[in-house]
Amino acid sequence: MSRIITFLGKADTRHTTVAIATAKWFAQYSQRVLLVTHNPNPSAELLLETSLKATPQEIAPNLSVVQLQATVLLEQVWEEVKKWLALYLPPSVKMEIYSGEVIILPGFDSLLSFNALRKYYQSEDYDVIIYDGRGDLESLRMLGIPNIADWYFRRFREALESLDLSKIADSIGGPLASALLSANMDTRKVQDAIVQIQDWIAKSVAVVGDAKRLSAYLVTTDEPAAIAEARWLWGSAQQVDLRVSGVLAYQSYEAANKTELEQAFAPLKVNLIPALQKHNWEPLLEALPDFKTIPHVPQPLTVDLVQRQVQVFLPGFSKSQVKLTQLGTELTVEAGDQRRNIVLPDELRNQPVTGGKFEEPYLVISF
């Protein structure tokens, strides 16, 4: 089983330095490591003393590195999309759009990176994948894709099913209406696709929610702004069901105040990482935590059926930054500029919320 480790915090040189150190840490234990970076990343090229490519290349024993490039990834995905479309479109229909001319839209980078990570993970070619992404809110949105897909799929399917087709047909009227009602669709193909998508979503949701398979470390310094941002990202990570396993505090010029950091990030363990000097990675590798031991951290969501309560772990936020809403059948937690629609167990589904109380770091919802 592969394992993915990523980092949250300001995505500057420190971030990349810590990612490389972590990759080297695993490689020294004979684990097959793939370090995944983005385009552009001159810091990584300078630190690794090599130029990065869009396909994995081994740069040291057990250590491979790849730089994700949206244009290259799009080319690969486009071929798959075309095959998939061919399954559903009649053979006479051809969209003459070449992959080479498709322009990359905002969000494509995240979707393509997610897809690339998923493939490397499933390939089983690597024991550990170190993902040196942007480490910001957009990274969380990317890692949130499985849970987002889960919700969209469930919710829009409900919405579509609740549409009264005969009403639509009436208001459109004419031959299109009667056609809609009698259309001879290939329902087996559509059903197969739905089952496949559901299976994919369920598997991905399981990976994201399992710290043994995916976990994040916060990267910070002892500067107040860096700490504040790392704390914000820590809370935000809970919203996509991502486990944060520890804090790596990079020392830039002075020794960081460890006690202060430990208070800011309790109950997480804080490791102080010395600055890299003259390409000597040894001190950094020694300062890293033992990644083989996966620390126990609070669950993002705990359901207590006896007390009829749901506890949402939201560290790093204050009361004013957390919002709870119940609209229709959905219970939504808004925090960290993200929304999480909570899937309740049958016993609590569609029950009115009797109370929502935020006491750092928990939001307690009572039914």
Least distance (Å) between residue 290 CB and its own copies: 30
Report 270-329 residues binding its own copies (CB under 8 A).
Answer: 325, 327-328
Nearest to 264 by CA among 281, 293, 290, 244: 244
Rounded to whole angstroms, how far apart are CA atoms 146 and 130?
19
Cis amide bond preceding 42, omega within 30: no
Applying CB under 8 A, which of residues 29, 84, 88, 152 lies at the interface with its own copies? 152
Looking at the Cβ atoms of 21 and 233, the one nearer to its own copies is 233
For its own copies, the closer of residues 128 and 261 by Cβ is 261
- Sheet with 323-327: list strands edge to edge: 323-327, 330-335, 338-342
If you compute the radius of gyration of the chain from its CA atoms, what whole number of angstroms results? 23
Nearest to 146 by CA among 62, 233, 241: 241
Q: Is 63 left (phi over 0), alpha (psi -120 to 50) or beta?
A: beta
- Closest CB to its own copies among 3 and 10? 10
- Cα→Cα distances 222→3, 11, 247, 248, 298, Å: 29, 16, 11, 11, 24
Which of 118, 299, 330, 348: binder of its own copies (CB under 8 A)?
330
Residue in 77, 137, 294, 353 binding its own copies, rule: CB under 8 A: 137
- Pick between residue 209 and residue 289 the one whose CB is nearest to its own copies: 209
CB atoms within 10 A of CB 344: 18
Report the site for its own copies in 161-180 (rule: CB under 8 A).
162-164, 167-168, 170-180
Stretch that binds its own copies, among 115-123, 132-140, 198-206, 303-311 (CB under 8 A): 132-140
Helix (H) or strand (E) holding 326: strand 323-327
**Is residue 341 close enough to count as binding its own copies by CB under 8 A?**
yes
User: Where in 222-261 is the site for its own copies (CB under 8 A)?
Assistant: 223-225, 228-229, 232-233
Smallest gap from Cβ 89 to its own copies, in A, equals 9
Q: How many CB atoms lie within 10 A of CB 220?
A: 28
Decide if residue 190 touches its own copies (CB under 8 A): no
Residue among 90, 187, 188, 278 that touches its own copies (CB under 8 A):
90
Instruction: Report, in Å, the least distance between residue 336 CB and its own copies.
Output: 8
Q: Does 80 bind its own copies (CB under 8 A)?
A: no
Binding mask 92-111 for its own copies (x = CB under 8 A): xx-xxxx-xxxxxxxxxxxx
Q: Which two tokens stand for residue 72?
A: 């290259």
Among 88, 156, 263, 302, binds its own copies (CB under 8 A): 156
